[in-house]
Chain A
């Protein structure tokens, strides 16, 4: 494959108008699976959470999980959807070893929720995203590809199947085409997925951990010359496993498609695969003909007809909409608009909330999460929530600063230690000996030493030039390897020198 130089992103969005489509799968946090009583717990030994139903054994039959249906309705309501008065499950028929029945029980032309919308904020602008549908389906098992070089499917000798995940409830949320985002398309997509994640977390229906697969995104994009033209041919990109990937993958796809089009070519309508390591998408296996899923209503399940009373009951359980919540928090915390936007954009709001609940002041919590920790997350290429430090720990560190046991610089070192899994903040402080020295005798000794070593500076201070103390403070701090309370050092210096 020859390496083509891609059109730059700026050129791409100057020449073309991107139209997006996002399909997000939310794995529900119900106790049991969609159609049987097996556990949905993550991380169990393989094939220990299976039964005849989710294994697709001959003769087994599904029974719908009431909580999953409830969650589907609440998700639909939170997205301002209409809830179907009557709908059915359908079989999506295709063969794949991770799907025990070789059909997926899903919903086809009768989704439980449809025609909704939601609003996403980005850089001070509000984008209204139309929701086509939200429907219920079951997850597949997991395959481990072995024998090949990369552990991926390509070149593998065989695959090992674990069906623990088969049958876990999924809600698929599909947007209508998203227009009018222009150059911000990738960011809007990322903001939308972030927003969905917040919504699901607020509803309490999912762990929404992209790194664990409880929130998955397929990103569709097409380009057209301008907003008045017909939609172009689109590609669907899979394996988009983080918020960052959503943005990066779309950016890449837009550049790639623009390059093809600018060259006079046609975009191939296909499924593509995102590679986080190389930052490109590659085409999926080309199939001789499109897969025909032969959908028909699932005869083993009966229609779902949620009463309007039930829907109203569930509507009353919805948490406050994110915009309302954000306004409330902003007021409570006293953040500026910019501070609030940055915090939200970094995905830090739930973390700040938890940190405040653990006792820290809001501004302090914000400073850490939107600032230092956001920087670290970005540098490591992970989500804020994925960092190995909890809101409680952040609150503990802040408390130590407030108590004078740490200063900012030392606090950063403690964070290093916690992130490196060296232990709790207290353990790291002890192990690394990071505590601020507040023992006056020790400080005094260092101060005396500094004065003795810098007689000119000392004279200046004696003569009234108090500002010169700064230089001596620096010496002491260096001597103390930063583990001193600078303010106290200053006091001691001035005391010694008669100020």
Chain B
């Protein structure tokens, strides 16, 4: 069953991904993505329930660092690329936030 992905779906995903797509892009992307999705959908055919997933190519585990201080960046270095700085902090436009 080929997956259906509508323009509205793409708009919703763009919002989740914080990209303000233009109308033109929204027009183009949906069919392009549908084609790609169709070709990748076949993975679900062959992926049996009892096949364990691979999240890491190399079977490492328990890699830690000691709880020690290491030199970091100076505030100047940290803020060097910032679009806007105020009071040694990153200045950003007003955040909509979680309070009504």
Contacts and interface: CB of A to CB of B under 8 A. Distances in A.
Contacts of B96: 285
Interface string B31-75: 000000000000000000000000110001111111111111111
B65 A51 contact: no
B99 interface: yes
Interface string A304-317: 11100000000000
Interface in A103-161: 143-147, 152-154, 156-161
A162 B92 CA distance: 11
Contacts of A36: 70, 72
A46 B67 contact: no
Interface string A46-80: 11111110110000000111111100000000000
Give the size category of A's interface with B. 35 or more
A299 to B, nearest CB: 6
B63 A64 contact: yes
B91 A158 contact: yes
Interface string A2-44: 0000000000000000000000000000111000111100000
Given A159-B95, A285-B98, A67 B67 contact: yes
Contact of B62 (A143, A285, A302): A302
Given A68-B67, A271-B98, A284-B99, A162 B72 contact: no
Given A46-B75, A48-B75, A302-B60, A66 B66 contact: yes
A45 B75 CA distance: 9
Interface size class of B (residues with CB under 8 A): 35 or more
Interface in B7-39: 12, 16, 18
Nearest to A63: B65
B69 A303 contact: no
Contacts of B55: 88, 296-297, 299
A52 B70 CA distance: 12
Interface in B70-100: 70-75, 78-79, 86-100
Interface in A303-340: 303-306
Q: Is the interface of A mostly helix, strand, loop or mixed?
A: loop
Nearest to B55: A297
Contact of A156 (B67, B94, B100): B94
A303 B98 CA distance: 33
B92 A303 contact: no
B64 A161 contact: no
Nearest to B87: A160
Given A154-B97, A159-B92, A284-B98, A69 B72 contact: no
B93 A158 contact: yes
B99 A97 contact: no
Contacts of B63: 63-64, 301-302
Contacts of A296: 55
Contacts of B61: 86, 302-305
B16 to A, nearest CB: 6
A168 to B, nearest CB: 12
Contact of B64 (A47, A63, A159, A299): A63
A267 to B, nearest CB: 16
Contacts of B60: 302
A297 B18 CA distance: 22
B6 to A, nearest CB: 15
Contact of B99 (A55, A64, A152, A159): A152
Q: Closest 9 A-B residue pairs measured CB to CB?
A: A37-B70, A51-B72, A67-B67, A160-B89, A66-B64, A153-B97, A297-B55, A161-B90, A302-B60
Given A64-B63, A158-B92, A302-B63, 7 more contacts: A32-B70, A50-B72, A160-B90, A160-B91, A161-B91, A163-B90, A273-B99
9 contacts: A31-B69, A38-B69, A47-B90, A67-B66, A147-B94, A153-B94, A156-B94, A158-B94, A273-B99
